[in-house]
Amino acid sequence: MSRTTIHDIAKELNTSPSTVSKALNDHPSISAATKKLIKETAQNLNYRQNRLASSLRSGRTNIIGILIPSSDIGFFGAVVHGIEKVARANGYNILLFQSNETGEYEVEGVETLLQTSVDGIIASIAKDTPNLDHFYYVKKRKVPLVLFDRTKDELGAPSVVVDDYKGAFMATEHLIQQGYTQIAHISGPQHIKIFNDRLCGYVDALKMNNMEVDEDLIQYGRNSIESGRFSAERLLSRNKGMDAIFAVEDFTALGALQYFKQEGIKMPGEIGMIGFGNESFSPYVTPSLSTIDQQPARMGEEAFTLFLEAMAKKAAGTEETELVTEPKKIILDPVLIVRESSVMTVMA
């Protein structure tokens, strides 16, 4: 590839290559006006920095590692797009590693990302991670760590989450407002905070509306289509007059929906349904699935902003203050998405 070099830019502006190089690397000895001119000229000449050389100089790679449980879950893909958008605008590239929900792969992911000298790691914790040693190791290595969605407060890392309790409360209250009275909940693994938060939101919404909380209408699942089918079958078999389900996430809701369809049960007439997560398939199933949106694109953008702040702290040598001050935690509002599965009178 024949490329524009800093010599071409220097020639164009009648200045020295070293001035160009300093300007492109934001050296303090160059004025803001000169930097602007040189950067614009570089852009006009379609100049791309030799990243490796640049990284050797700066000690940075301008790469962020993102560790997600699974790219099969549309929510994580949408967060990644949110991160990408702002990361690229700030000159960062991102590399993805998926843990496939296991602690073993997550440990390998952390090692792989550290090995490739990423400037920082943005992570969401796998369902089956038995301990957090690998994340403590990231912190020990002083590599900025930001958590999103599935976080652990004890890691003391900045994080961005959606208000899961509130989302569950909204979902349950929506079913109540639609006239459903025997509302069941299919929950997820309780050692993960967000799933416990959703359970609490469900319970409190019932209580606040003076409705009984019936243990027989709560089923603990494993966040999968299969688990949703199985849980729906179990709930129905208890003959409690269940007329609606709030499912902990959309894959679980989809499994329940499939089971009811197979059994000839009409939705939303006989049983109403709402999920959580606004997965990509949710608008396209029949009936289309009501759900809670977690603003994943914004979550990604906020996570990247937290990473930039952590980088700035690291550069200023002030990251130790994290030990005395609480790390920043951004809590996004959930958004109720009403579709056919939860509305008694279905609109066209």
Residues at the site binding its own copies, with contacts judged by CB under 8 A: 1, 51-52, 55, 61, 63, 71-72, 74, 77, 80-81, 84, 88, 93-98, 100, 105, 108-109, 111-117, 133-134, 136-137, 254, 258, 280-281, 284-286
At closest approach, how far in Å is the CB of 80 from its own copies?
7
At closest approach, how far in Å is the CB of 1 from its own copies?
5
Nearer to its own copies, 32 or 347 (CB): 347
Query: What element of type H or E holds 145?
Result: strand 145-148
At closest approach, how far in Å is the CB of 114 from its own copies?
8
At closest approach, how far in Å is the CB of 229 from its own copies?
12
On the 0-12 / 13-18 / 19+ scale of CB atoms within 10 A, 51 is: middle
Nearer to its own copies, 108 or 309 (CB): 108
Nearer to its own copies, 67 or 194 (CB): 67
Residues in contact with 302: Cβ distance below 8 Å, sequence separation at least 6, in sequence order: 148, 160, 330, 332
Nearer to its own copies, 131 or 239 (CB): 131
CA distance 280 to 59: 39
At closest approach, how far in Å is the CB of 48 from its own copies?
8
CA distance 324 to 309: 17
Residues in contact with 15: Cβ distance below 8 Å, sequence separation at least 6, in sequence order: 38
Nearer to its own copies, 324 or 348 (CB): 348
Query: In DSSP terms, which residues pair with 184 in a beta bridge?
Result: 245
At closest approach, how far in Å is the CB of 55 from its own copies?
7
Handedness of CA 263, 264, 267, 271 (dihedral sign): negative
Strand 335-337 with 291-293, pairing = antiparallel
